[in-house]
């Protein structure tokens, strides 16, 4: 079955997947959604016998129907190889009666690697299919994590360049070191003298600048984005939920056809939407549990049907979830109003203009698969401590948001369905917060360096390469630019 994509706002229809990946966002500002959901073609028992790559192929081929088998398998094989530090790619670990799906074994030790290690290959393949011979240049503004994961994915991928802008004084010391030491001849990093919003606005301006696009095109370069709304990020994420299910069968924890719950620590709503897509193609999921930190816009939305971003922005120990506008929610809104693009566009207009919209009771009734709750900072620390004390297993603060929400849900609902928790970052990425939760008196006074060694002792988990690298790697990127000069910097870097 061929699957085509439409914009959630009605401006584009019948778009093949390769085009949707190249474009990222639809021309009308909407998000690409599949016109229908295909169904898994192999049995769960067969899936349970497959390795990550073969299983990912079975899931991704359903959505990316204009890629040939050879093309798609080549993308998958290039992405999910020894750059992951375990052969399972995404292992499942049981602790405190839940199954933690470890999505942090890639290059930057966070779950965004799962999608960003394959996106460059999907994009260059899509360009070839569409007879585009230009080099693809990714422009990205980052508040810390996404830019690094995107660079790690695109580094030295033939036919691509990547330029990342980060706020000079707005990222953590570890994040900054990770970026300025990035390897790869095609990677470019720019510290800007402004905040993340300035960087983001500057990048958006460049995407809309016709002269820049023309001048780039004359040099056979075209710009693209690696944003989390890209279909090429969403589809690879659906694969690991099916893989988690297959691992549960393999280990004997469930039988093919049994239901599971999935709990996801949520920010931009991309990861949990992928779990929802996995359900649509036939994964037996009972509840999708949407876990937020104190920026609990989504919890309120699922409880009341009102999305309201007008509230204080709270800085938490799970910074990748400090988000007040979850862009991927637009895809669920579209689905829940019966795929009505006009209605979806109207809600998004309200959100832009007033920061708020309210869905109808009928739409709300369509969201019954979801449970939503949030965790306070104290609860997050308590969950890290509990899992450590019970199981000697150390989880990061993002994962702890989900664990805390899930433990409370299980107790209050009595729902004992086997539950997968998306474990989205290595504790090493947030060593200070993790050790503070485990024993503040003992660890708080240590330097960052000492903490990595302490975490090694506490967890028994080897210090990942990503951490070893930043300890020793030389600084390669020293460019600093003002917000006004961002475009000038891009032109210089690309020779246009």
Ligand X SMILES: *Cc1c(COP(=O)(O)O)cnc(C)c1O
For residues 133 and 87, is the Cβ–Cβ distance under 8 A? no
Tokens of 144: 């810390």
Contact 443, 154 (CB under 8 A): no
In the window 161-180, what residues touch ligand X (CB under 6 A)?
A: none
Cα–Cα dist 83/265, whole Å: 24
Alpha-helical (H) ranges within 161-195 are: 173-180
Tell me the per-residue interface mask from 394 to 413 with ligand X, x by CB under 6 A, - otherwise: ----x---------------
Q: Which of 76, 89, 110, 337 binds ligand X (CB under 6 A)?
A: 110
Write down the least CB distance from residue 153 to ligand X, Å: 14
- List CB contacts of 316: < 8 A, sequence separation 6 or more: 293, 294, 295, 322, 377, 380, 397
Q: Is 202 in the site for ligand X (CB under 6 A)?
A: no
What is the nearest approach in angstroms of ligand X to the Cβ of residue 174? 14
Decide if 164 contacts 140 (C-beta within 8 A): yes
Site string for ligand X, 413-442 (x = CB under 6 A): -----------xx-----------------
Residue pair 163/188 in contact by the 8 Å Cβ criterion: yes
Closer residue to ligand X in complex, CB, 235/425: 425
- For 106, 256, 290, the CA distances from 319, given in Å and listed in that order, are 19, 37, 17
Residue of the chain from 117, 320, 336, 489 that contacts ligand X (CB under 6 A): 320
Binding mask 133-152 for ligand X (x = CB under 6 A): ------------x-------
Shortest reach from residue 286's CB to ligand X, in Å: 20
Nearest alpha-carbon partner for 105 in 240, 230, 223, 204: 240
Q: Is 120 or 270 the residue whose CB approaches ligand X more closely? A: 270
Binding track, positions 236-265, relative to ligand X; x by CB under 6 A: -----------------------------x
Concatenating the DSSP letter of every residue in 373-401 gives EE--HHHHHHHHHHHHHHHS----HHHHH
| Contact residues for 434 (Cβ-Cβ < 8 A; gap 6+) | 384, 394, 395, 396, 397, 427, 455
Binding mask 63-92 for ligand X (x = CB under 6 A): ------------------------------
* Interaction between residue 316 and ligand X (CB under 6 A): no
Task: Give the residue, chosen from 17, 224, 266, 404, that forms a contact with ligand X under the rule CB under 6 A.
Answer: 266
Q: Out of 267, 295, 436, 490, point to the residue binding ligand X (CB under 6 A).
A: 267
Interface positions with ligand X (CB under 6 A): 110-112, 145, 228, 265-271, 320-321, 398, 424-425
């Amino acid at each position: 079955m061929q699957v085509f994509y439409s914009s959630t706002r009605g401006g584009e229809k019948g778009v093949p997947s390769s085009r949707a990946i190249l474009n990222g966002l639809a021309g009308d500002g909407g998000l690409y959604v599949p016109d229908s959901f295909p169904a898994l073609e192999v049995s769960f028992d067969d899936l349970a016998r497959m390795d990550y790559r073969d299983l990912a192929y079975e899931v991704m081929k359903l959505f990316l129907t204009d890629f040939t088998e050879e093309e798609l398998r080549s993308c998958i094989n290039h992405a999910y190889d020894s750059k992951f530090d375990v052969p399972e790619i995404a292992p499942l670990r049981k602790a405190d009666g839940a199954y933690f799906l470890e999505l942090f074994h890639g290059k930057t030790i966070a779950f965004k690697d799962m999608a960003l290690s394959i996106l460059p290959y999907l994009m260059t393949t899509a360009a070839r299919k569409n007879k585009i011979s230009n080099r693809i240049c990714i422009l990205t503004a980052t508040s810390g994590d996404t830019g690094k994961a995107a660079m790690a994915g695109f580094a030295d991928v033939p036919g691509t360049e990547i330029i990342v802008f980060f706020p000079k004084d707005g990222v953590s010391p570890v994040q900054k070191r990770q970026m300025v030491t990035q390897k790869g001849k095609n990677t470019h990093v720019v510290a800007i003298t402004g905040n993340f919003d300035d960087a983001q606005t500057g990048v958006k301006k460049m995407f809309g600048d016709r002269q820049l696009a023309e001048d780039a095109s004359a040099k056979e370069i075209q710009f693209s984005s690696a944003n989390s709304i890209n279909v090429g990020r969403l589809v690879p994420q659906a694969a690991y939920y099916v893989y988690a299910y297959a691992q549960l069968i393999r280990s004997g924890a469930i039988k093919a056809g049994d239901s599971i719950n999935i709990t996801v620590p949520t920010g931009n709503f991309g990861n949990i939407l992928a779990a929802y897509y996995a359900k649509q193609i036939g994964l037996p999921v009972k509840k999708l549990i949407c876990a937020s930190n104190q920026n609990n816009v989504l919890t309120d939305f699922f409880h009341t049907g009102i999305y309201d971003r007008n509230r204080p922005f709270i800085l938490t120990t799970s910074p990748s979830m400090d988000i007040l506008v979850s862009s991927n929610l637009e895809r669920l809104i579209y689905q829940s109003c019966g795929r009505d693009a006009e209605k979806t566009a109207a809600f998004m207009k309200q959100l832009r203009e007033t920061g708020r919209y309210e869905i109808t009771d009928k739409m709300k009734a369509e969201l019954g698969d979801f449970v939503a709750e949030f965790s306070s900072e104290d609860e997050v620390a308590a969950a890290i401590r509990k899992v450590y004390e019970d199981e000697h297993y150390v989880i990061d603060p993002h994962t702890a948001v989900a664990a805390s929400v899930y433990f409370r849900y299980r107790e209050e609902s009595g729902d004992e369905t086997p539950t997968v928790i998306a474990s989205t970052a290595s504790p090493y990425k947030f060593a200070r917060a993790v050790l503070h939760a485990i024993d503040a008196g003992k660890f708080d006074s240590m330097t960052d360096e000492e903490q990595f060694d302490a975490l090694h002792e506490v967890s028994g988990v080897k210090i990942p390469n990503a951490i070893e690298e930043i300890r020793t790697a030389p600084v390669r990127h020293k460019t600093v630019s003002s917000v006004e000069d961002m475009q000038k910097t891009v032109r210089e870097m690309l020779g246009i």
